[in-house]
Amino acid sequence: MDTKIESPALQEFAEATETIVNPALRSWKEQGGKVAGYFCSYAPEEIITAAGFLPFRMRATGSTGTELADRYLSDCNCSFVRNCFNMALSGEYDFLDGAVWVNSCDHVRRVYDNWKRKMKTPSFLHFLSLPKKTGEKQVSWYQEELTVFKESLERHFGVEITDERLWEAIKLHNQKRRLQRKLYKLRKGENPPITGAETLTVIVAGTAMPTERYNQLLKELLDEISGADGNADYRARLMILGGILDDPAYIKVIEDQGGLVVTDMLCFGTKVMWEDVDEGTPEPLEALARYYIKDRPTCPRFFGSHEKRAAFVRQMIREFKVDAVIGQRLMFCDGWAYEHYMLDQDFKDDGIPHLTLDREYLLAAVGQLRTRVQALLESIGR
């Protein structure tokens, strides 16, 4: 499915998604700005912004292999972390002034363990302990972790992160989330004006450039495509769900077979922007802890939260008139392995066509992907 959008804003988003050091990030660094990388969407980008830094979601875009990382990481570690650490060893992340991890999974933690022993840069490394449940006790726990993180940034870089600056950052990122939801709302119509691959391009770009610039560009894009002729030549409306997926080319392969991805539940997608941080909470760090642990759609690494995720998926299916669901999982991701299994049972009960795909981080086995998607679309009967 070829793009119908001719937009300078979308082109700038594409540049930010297709490269690591994109023009907006390079300009930020040239002006003396600092960049802090983070390895999981549970790292609080608002605190990084409040410190005056650009929060950069770690990706391995442009990686060509894992030969350096394979000295330190097992081949049963997921290919995302191996490609990321390979780029670190190659010096591709030398633009970072700091890096932040959470114990989201054992694979990501192994990167932290090796990074702090083998890498000389950046000098600031921080590890956040993330709870396994989503109750009030866990909100309080994570609030304490965020306090430690904030104080660590202040000590290391000599900055002051006041409540006022935190609220400014929260409002800025909430504005980004609201604009992203407006983009998704346009995909609910019968002829969405933007494809799933283009949408992922927009979302990934939001993790790699200054948020003020991103919000300005997204407003321009929304103005350009609102009311435009949409995509009508598709065979089925699809939802894609799973863990990290930052490569729009993967979705384009799916859409080239005739399916149109109209919504998702991804770490680069609805999971990080479908809810706002509550600006009415008395303390900014409490608001952030509650948002990350309790309010937004959860990750399978949280115990006892499957029913909440299943309910969210069903909501997406209804709102976006989804015909079938595609689940994608990086090889060796245990959390999404059992989550896809449980969701498959839910989809069978609901009569929803469902396809689960295992993949490597770098796009490969395209022929097999095409064949399996074609079979899914034919089973729907369109």
First to last CA, the chain: 16
Identify the residue whose tokens are 């900055």: 159
Distance CA 209, CA 19 (A): 12
pLDDT confidence band for 381 (50 / 70 / 90): confident
| Claim to verify: residue 121 and residue 21 sit in the same structural domain | yes
Helices 211-225 and 196-205, packing angle to 10 deg: 160
Please check the confidence at residue 335 and state whether its pLDDT lies above 70: yes
Residue 229 has pLDDT above 90, yes or no: no
What is the 3 state secondary structure string of 234-290? CCEEEEEEECCCCCHHHHHHHHCCCEEEEEEECCCCHHHCCCCCCCCCCCHHHHHHH
Supply the range of the domain harboring residue 128: 8-159
Is the pLDDT confidence value at 3 over 80?
A: no
Query: Do 43 and 191 share a domain, yes or no?
Result: no
Chain segment 52-100, per-residue pLDDT in tens:
999 999 999 999 999 999 999 998 999 999 999 999 999 999 999 999 9
Q: CB of 179 within 8 A of CB of 221?
A: no
Starting at the earlier edge strand, list the strands of the sheet with 124-128: 53-57, 34-38, 98-102, 124-128
Whether 330 and 286 map to the same domain: the answer is: yes
Q: Model confidence over 121-170: pLDDT tens digits?
A: 898 999 999 999 999 999 999 999 999 999 999 999 999 999 999 999 99
Q: What CATH number has the domain bearing residue 257?
A: 3.40.50.11900
Residue 218 domain flag: no
302 vs 382, higher pLDDT? 302
**5, pLDDT greater than 80:** no
Q: Is 158 left (phi over 0), alpha (psi -120 to 50) or beta?
A: left
Q: What are phi and psi of 346, to 5 degrees?
A: -65, -45
Q: Which two tokens stand for residue 381?
A: 């009967």
Same domain, 176 and 102: no
Per-residue pLDDT, averaged over 204-232, amounts to 95
35 in any annotated domain: yes
